[in-house]
Every structure is written in C-alpha cells, then in structure tokens.
C-alpha cells in the first residue's frame, strides 16, 4: 500500500467504526423496545397465538401441493360453502387446480349452480343472521385478512374444545372453583391465561354450557360451530380424512383463493431480481472505474 492508500484505508476504517457505533445505538434502542412488549395489548385480545405450520406454498421457492389444493377445494365446496361464500372464485376457475370440466360442472350443480357462477353460499344472509347472529364472512381473502394468516385460519379449524377438553372442564368445575394446580392444568390444555382464575371459570362455564369455545379466536367464543370433524368429507385419492388433514387442505385452498396469482408473482420475482442483481453489479463496476480518477 502506498501512503495515499493507507490514509484512505484509515479513513474508511474510521467511517465504518462510526457507522457501527450509530448502528449499535439504534440496535440497543430497538432491542429494548422488543424486550418490553406491552402487556395489555396481549391480554385484551385474550387468545393464544396459533402455532406456525409448515406450509409448502410459503417462501421464495414455495409451491402449492396440487393434490392438497384439489382436496381443499372439495372440503370448501362441500363443507364451508354451506354457510360461507368464496365469491372472488368462480367454479370454472377450479379447473386451474386440475379438475376436469365435468368435475367442475358436477361440483357446481351439486350446490345448484352453473360453472360460470362464483362460489357463493347457499344460505342467504338474512337466514344466516337469524341462525348465527352474524353473517359468516366471505372466505375469499380470509388468509390475508387476519393476523396470523394461514396459521390462524388453521388454528380456528382445529382449535375447538375436544371431548377430553370438555371432560377436563367438567372435572375442574365440579366443585365450582378453580385451584392453583387446576388453573395450571387448564391453562396449558386450553391455552388460557392462568393468572385470572375468575375469568377462566367464566370461560369453562360457557364452554360446558355448549357455546363454541375456540383456543385461537380472540375472546375464545364465536358463532361458528365446529365445521370439520374426522371423516366429514370423503376423499377419493386415498388420503386419510382426519380433521387435521381436512383443515390443512382447506387452508391450502383458501390461501390459493386469496391470491390465485401468487405463483406467477413469485416466479416473475426471481427473474426480475436476478436481472437487477447482475445490472447492479455492472453499475457498481462502472462506478468504481469512473470514480477511480477522483481523489
């Protein structure tokens, strides 16, 4: 290195260390922020965070499992469509998932429509409001419209109280109050906050009373009765039709329905970004070359 280069090198080192220092200040600030997560925001929603699921279609190279998409469409049409609409998807579009024209026609006619129709619910909104107190939301965008996205919708479908949960509730509430040990047991089984035994007792009472308890719904109770049970839909491809499997499949379908263009987006993205990376490297090389003359 000649003298000038040494000076330049020193100034670069100085500059970098300055930047590191300011970055450190910002990082410390950011870290102390994340460490201090506000408590009330959590408590007021009163529901557990749904665990992350390994969805095949997420991530840069993620792809839809085509078989799961087809099964999911079947679950959606046969089960969810009783109450919900998926109005931004038309029956005809299901051919993109690998259904034949005849199959699509049969699916549409099975619910009294033609293949040109959107996937609207057979239940009319006033009737729905009468039976449930609310109109079930359209599901076209549901995986994008809730915090937790796909994991949340999946959590909703599998988060209901099972028979053993009910047995636990009955056992705990038999003496009318919740002990410290019981609170812990209930908290871990139903993902409730163990710090508030009164609130917990209230929840268990409503659960025993037959209201729709769900671990992941904010507030724990809502109007949707458990839609999926083991074996609720008959699969033709030999896949086991357990509740969990039905839920995985229908959520996969709903994730597609929320944005049918997402695979096009991702495959275009790779090309665009690769192009930009090459271009930017070349621009950098030219920039170095031009600026070499300036001291």
Partner 1 sequence: MSKIMEWVDARLPVTELLKSQATEYPTPKNLNYWWNFGSLALLVLIIMIATGLFLAMHYKADANQSFDVVEHIMRDVNYGWLLRYAHANGASFFFMVVYVHILRGMYYGSYRQPREILWWFGIIIFFMMMGTAFMGYVLPWGQMSYWGAAVITNLMSAIPVIGEDLVVWIWGGFSVGDPTLNRFFALHFLLPLVIFGVVILHLWALHAVHSNNPDGIDLHDAKDSIPFHPYYTIKDFYGYGIFMIIFCIFVFYAPNFFLEPDNYIPANPMQTPAHIVPEWYFLPFYAILRSIDFLGSFSKLAGVLAMVGAIMILFVLPFLDRSPVRSFRYRPLSKQLFWIFVVDCIVLGWVGYNPADATIFNGALPLIIIGRTCTAIYFGYFFLLWAITALDIEKHQPVPKSI
Chain contacts with ligand HEC (rule: CB under 6 A): 75, 79-80, 82-84, 132, 134, 136-137, 139, 142, 146, 153, 156-157, 222-225, 227-228, 250
Segment interacting with partner 1 (CB under 8 A) among 75-83, 103-111, 142-150, 156-164: 142-150
Q: What character string, x for contact with partner 1 (CB under 8 A) and - otherwise, covers 56-75?
A: ----x---------------
Tokens of 129: 């409001």
The count of residues in the chain is: 295
**Rounded distance, CA 127 to CA 130, Å?**
5
CB of 175 vs partner 1, minimal distance in Å: 30
Distance CA 228, CA 139 (A): 16
User: With binding defined as CB under 8 A, does residue 292 bind partner 1?
Assistant: no
Other Cβ atoms within 10 Å of 62 Cβ, number: 12
On the 0-12 / 13-18 / 19+ scale of CB atoms within 10 A, 263 is: middle
Letters for 235-264 (x = contact with partner 1 by CB under 8 A, - = none) are ------------------------xxx--x
Partner whose footprint covers residue 90, from partner 1, ligand HEC, none (CB < 5 to 8 Å by kind) = none
Q: How many Å apart are CA 265 and CA 260, to the nearest integer?
A: 10
- Contact flag: residue 272 with partner 1 (CB under 8 A): yes
Nearer to partner 1, 172 or 254 (CB): 254
Nearest of 121, 122, 92 to residue 107 by alpha carbon: 92
Pick from ligand HEC, partner 1, none: which does 280 bind, CB < 5 to 8 A by kind? partner 1
For residue 96, give both structure tokens: 């993109």
For partner 1, give the closer residue by CB, 45 or 131. Answer: 45
CA distance 254 to 145: 12
Side-chain-facing half-sphere of 24: CA atoms under 13 Å: 6
- One of 1, 3, 29, 102 touching partner 1 (CB under 8 A): 29
Rounded CA separation 209/87 (Å): 34
Q: Which entry of ligand HEC, partner 1, none binds 276, CB below 5 to 8 A by partner kind?
A: partner 1
Task: Give CA–CA dist 255/252, Å, rounded.
Answer: 5
Select the residue interacting with partner 1 from 1, 33, 174, 180 (CB under 8 A).
33
The residues, ordered by sequence, that sit 6+ positions from 161 with a Cβ below 8 Å of its Cβ are: 169, 190, 207, 213, 214
Task: Quote the radius of gyration of the chain (alpha carbons, Å).
Answer: 27
Q: Is residue 110 involved in binding partner 1 (CB under 8 A)?
A: no
Q: Which residues bind partner 1 (CB under 8 A)?
A: 22, 25-26, 29-30, 33, 36-41, 44-45, 60, 88, 137, 140-141, 144-147, 149, 218, 259-261, 264-266, 268-270, 272-273, 276-277, 279-280, 283-284, 286-287, 290-291, 294
């Amino acid at each position: 290195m000649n003298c000038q280069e040494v000076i330049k090198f020193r100034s670069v080192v100085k500059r970098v260390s300055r930047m590191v220092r300011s970055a450190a200040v910002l990082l410390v600030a950011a870290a102390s922020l994340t460490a201090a997560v506000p408590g009330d925001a959590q408590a007021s929603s009163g529901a557990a965070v749904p665990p992350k699921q390994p969805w095949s279609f997420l991530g840069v190279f993620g792809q839809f499992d085509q078989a799961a998409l087809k099964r999911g469409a079947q679950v959606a049409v046969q089960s969810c469509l009783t109450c919900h609409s998926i109005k931004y998807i038309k029956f005809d579009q299901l051919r993109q998932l690998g259904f034949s024209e005849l199959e699509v026609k049969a699916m549409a006619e099975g619910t009294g429509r033609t293949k040109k129709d959107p996937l609207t619910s057979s239940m009319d909104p006033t009737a729905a409001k009468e039976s449930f107190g609310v109109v079930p939301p359209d599901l076209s965008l549901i995986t994008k419209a809730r915090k937790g996205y796909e994991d949340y919708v999946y959590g909703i479908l599998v988060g209901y109280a099972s028979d053993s949960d009910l047995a636990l509730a009955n056992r705990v509430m038999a003496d009318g109050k919740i002990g410290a040990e019981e609170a812990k047991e209930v908290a871990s089984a139903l993902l409730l906050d163990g710090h508030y035994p009164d609130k917990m007792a209230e929840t268990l009472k409503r659960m025993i009373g037959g209201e729709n308890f769900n671990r992941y719904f904010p507030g724990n109770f809502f109007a949707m009765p458990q839609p999926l049970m083991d074996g609720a839909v008959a699969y033709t491809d030999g896949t086991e039709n357990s509740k969990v499997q039905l839920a995985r499949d229908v959520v996969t379908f709903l994730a597609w329905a929320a944005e049918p263009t997402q695979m096009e987006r991702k495959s275009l993205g790779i090309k665009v970004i690769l192009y930009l990376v090459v271009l930017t490297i070349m621009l950098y090389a030219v920039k170095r070359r031009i600026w070499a003359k300036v001291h």
